[in-house]
Amino acid sequence: MAIQSLYRNEDQKCCYRAINSQGVRVLWEITSACNVECDFCLVEKKHRTIPLAQAIDMASVLIEEGVEKFLISGGEPLLYPGIQELLTFLVERGVLVKLLTNGTIHHPAIFDLIKKSAQIEVSLSVQTIDESLADRIFQRPGSWAKLQETIRVLPKDRLNIITTFSTINHDCIESIIEWVVEQGIRCLSITNVFQETTRPARFMDNCLMYKEDPRHISRLFELIDRKRREHEGRLVIRTTQFGGESHETCEAGRSVLYIDSTGALLPCTLTDNHEYRNLNARLSVKELIRYYREQLPGLPPSSCVPLFSLKSTQEAVAR
């Protein structure tokens, strides 16, 4: 039986792994192509996508090596030409699949597969519930209406809403929370703006200009604390990349893996991947996985380092 996502209130450092979740997972950026243009997007544009046959071969090896959860993202994954075949393959192999989509593409065959397959969960990007602002953020007229239609046709018990807290929407979070509850969706994930340290974002060298200051982040967590109590039993709110008091350890390259749209298998999208990209030229998928598990340091160079180092630094100062 495939692992299941755990739904509970938590403030985690790692944006790809819940604090108490089990199993090995891979975040797979199956394509960097996208039909919307969010300024704060961290996904670098790449002009090559791996063929379906290669994707299936990679998936087979990953499953053999113990990967139990596939987070299929982009860009916009529904633009990948072989997305239906890849998702069907994964479902047939009994792994848990989480599809990360902006929700603005109507794909009847994929939607039917989602309805029939309890192994598929869907995370949808909602940055505001204001129609005009949503369309401006996506830079596509009609985006909000298309997203609402997607939510209407998919099973609510397997939906998760993802919101990036930024200078663009910091005043929208409370209305998003209430809207999620009204929709009957049980999980909201609020992420901080983040980016791999050594590579440009999608539309600019550094999308961290959209990251909010500590004062606004403090107010955000006051709101979250209040809403968690108010909607207990109906909604869980998860936060990532803000820090928090969790005792997580970095699992990059061990129970967390990342594949970019060119097929490079890397420890994590936020890790300084220069060295590991070079390894992809001479090692097989299986060899890469085993190399990461055996050779990767406990905390590789990454934009997450300050988050994992913060608590130990504070404890050292206290002593």
pLDDT tens digit string along 49-78?
899 999 999 999 999 999 999 999 988 999
CA distances from 187 to 40, 110, 164, 303 (A): 23, 22, 14, 26
175 lies in some domain: yes
- Provide DSSP, 157-186: GGEEEEEEE-TTTTTSHHHHHHHHHHHT--
Cβ-contact 314, 283 below 8 angstroms: no
What pLDDT, in 10s, does the model give residues 113-165?
A: 999 999 999 999 999 999 999 999 898 999 999 999 999 999 999 999 999 99
104 within domain boundaries: yes
Q: Residue 238 pairs with which residues in a beta bridge?
A: 10, 189
Residue corresponding to tokens 């061990």: 254
Closest CA to 83 of 102, 55, 104: 55
The pLDDT averaged over each successive group of 10 residues in the chain (319 residues) is: 70 77 88 82 71 97 95 94 97 96 95 96 96 92 96 96 92 97 96 66 57 90 97 95 77 90 89 86 95 84 70 41
Q: Is residue 5 part of a domain?
A: no
CATH number at residue 175: 3.20.20.70
Instruction: Give the number of domains in the chain.
Output: 1
Return the residue matching tokens 């929407």: 169
Q: For residue 2, is it within any domain?
A: no
Answer yes or no: is 4 within a domain.
no
Q: What are the tokens at 18? A: 């819940």
Look up tokens 């450092």; give the residue: 13
**Strand bridging mode 265-266 / 256-259:** antiparallel
What span, in angstroms and rounded, lies between the C-alpha atoms of 221 and 224? 5
